[in-house]
Homo-oligomer: A and B are copies of this chain.
Amino acid sequence: MFESSCAAARGCCKRFHPCWYSAVVDVKQSPRPAPRLTDVARAAGVSLATASRALADPALVRAETRARVADAAGRLGYVPHGAARALATQRSLTIGAVFPPVDNPIFATGTHALARELSAAGYTLLLASHDYDPAAELEAARALVERGVDGLVVVGLDHDPALYALLERAGLPFEVTWTIDRDGRHSSVGVSHREASRAVVQHLLELGHREFAVIAGETAHNDRARDRLEGVRDALAERGIGMPARRIVEAPFSVPEGRAAFARLVADAPGFTALVCGNDPLAIGALLECGARGLAVPRDISIAGFDDVDLAGALTPGLTTVRVPSADIGRRAAQRLLARLAGESPPRTETLPAPLVVRGSTGPAPR
Residues of A within 8 A of B (CB): 25, 29-31, 34, 77, 79-84, 86-87, 92-94, 101-105, 107-109, 111-112, 115-116, 119, 122, 124-130, 139-140, 142-148, 166, 169-171, 254-256, 259, 281, 284-285, 288, 291-292, 310-311, 313-316, 343
Contacts and interface: CB of A to CB of B under 8 A. Distances in A.
A131 to B, nearest CB: 8
Contacts of A292: 316
13 contacts: A79-B146, A81-B146, A82-B83, A82-B148, A83-B83, A87-B87, A94-B147, A102-B102, A102-B108, A102-B112, A111-B111, A124-B143, A127-B127
Given A103-B105, A127-B125, A146 B315 contact: no
Contacts of A281: 310
A32 to B, nearest CB: 9
Given A79-B170, A84-B87, A105-B108, 7 more contacts: A81-B87, A82-B83, A102-B112, A103-B108, A124-B128, A125-B126, A256-B310
Contact of A108 (B108, B128, B148): B108
The 3 A-B pairs at the shortest CB distance, nearest first, are namely A83-B86, A108-B108, A115-B129
A79 B125 contact: no
B109 A148 contact: no
Report how many copies the assembly holds. 2
Contact of A103 (B109, B127, B128): B109
A92 B143 CA distance: 12
A181 B93 CA distance: 34
B102 A105 contact: no
B147 A82 contact: yes
Given A34-B170, A102-B112, A115-B129, A255 B314 contact: yes
Contacts of A94: 126, 147
B314 A288 contact: yes
A48 B359 CA distance: 66
B79 A83 contact: no
A183 to B, nearest CB: 18
A62 B359 CA distance: 69
A202 to B, nearest CB: 29
Contacts of A314: 255-256, 259, 284-285, 288
Contact of A147 (B124, B144, B169): B124
B103 A145 contact: no
A189 to B, nearest CB: 19
A218 B146 CA distance: 40
B125 A128 contact: yes
Given A103-B109, A311-B284, A81 B129 contact: no
Contacts of A139: 119
A281 B124 CA distance: 29
Contacts of A143: 119, 122, 124
Contacts of A86: 82-83
Contacts of A126: 94, 124-127
A24 to B, nearest CB: 10
Contacts of A284: 311, 314
